[in-house]
């Protein structure tokens, strides 16, 4: 009898998780070299933290516009950050003030003024398949 209850709970008790696809088109790529380094975040306290992205994607730059597809994302709030690692050294090169010397971008095409953006600046809600375009800031 216990097996029957366990079967019913496992079969009917857990609703299926609905997963979605995020398509990101990156524009304004000036140099056809290096890689695009993309971080997808779903927690504000981890946003922009090194190694803290929910998903990290590296795409070889082959043209002035690249498209990245991220599958199997559950419903939720997300934010995207990226940079063009032009020299393929694995980091976003910065000047002495900490300002990126390589092109970068964020979801919502947020353009920071005096400090790095917050998670809420770049947040979007994903509850269906979604497409966005991010234009790199040079």
| Mean pLDDT, residues 33-48 taken together | 96
pLDDT at 135: 98
Q: Kindly tell me if the per-residue pLDDT of 20 is higher than 60.
A: yes
Q: Kindly tell me if the per-residue pLDDT of 7 is higher than 90.
A: no
Average pLDDT, the chain: 90
pLDDT at 1: 57
| Mean pLDDT, residues 2-6 taken together | 54
pLDDT, tens digit, 9 for 90 and up, residues 48-93: 998 999 999 999 999 999 999 999 999 999 999 999 999 999 999 9
DSSP per position, the chain: -HHHHHHHHHHHSSPPPPEEEEEEEEE---SS-SEEEEEEE--GGGTT-TT--SEEEEEE--SSSEEEEEEEEESEEEEEEEEEETT-SSS--B-TTS-BSS-EEEGGG---SSSPPPHHHH-EEESS-EEEEEEPB-
Task: Write down all domains in the chain, each with its CATH number in brackets.
Answer: 19-135 (2.60.40)
pLDDT at 98: 85
CB 79 within 8 A of CB 72: no
pLDDT at 3: 56
Note the pTM of the prediction, 2 decimals: 0.85
Q: Kindly tell me if the per-residue pLDDT of 5 is higher than 70.
A: no
């Amino acid at each position: 009898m216990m097996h029957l209850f366990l079967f019913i709970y496992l079969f009917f008790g857990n609703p299926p998780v609905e997963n979605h696809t995020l398509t990101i088109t990156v524009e304004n790529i000036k140099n056809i070299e290096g890689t695009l380094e993309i971080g997808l975040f779903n927690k504000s306290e981890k946003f922009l933290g090194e190694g803290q992205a929910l998903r990290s994607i590296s795409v070889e730059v082959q043209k002035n516009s690249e498209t990245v597809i991220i599958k199997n994302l559950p419903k939720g709030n997300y934010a995207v950050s990226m940079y063009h690692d032009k020299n393929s050294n694995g980091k976003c090169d910065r000047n002495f003030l900490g300002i990126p010397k390589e092109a970068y971008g964020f979801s919502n095409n947020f353009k920071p003024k005096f400090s790095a953006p917050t998670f809420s600046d770049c947040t979007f809600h994903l509850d269906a398949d979604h497409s966005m375009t991010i234009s790199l800031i040079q």
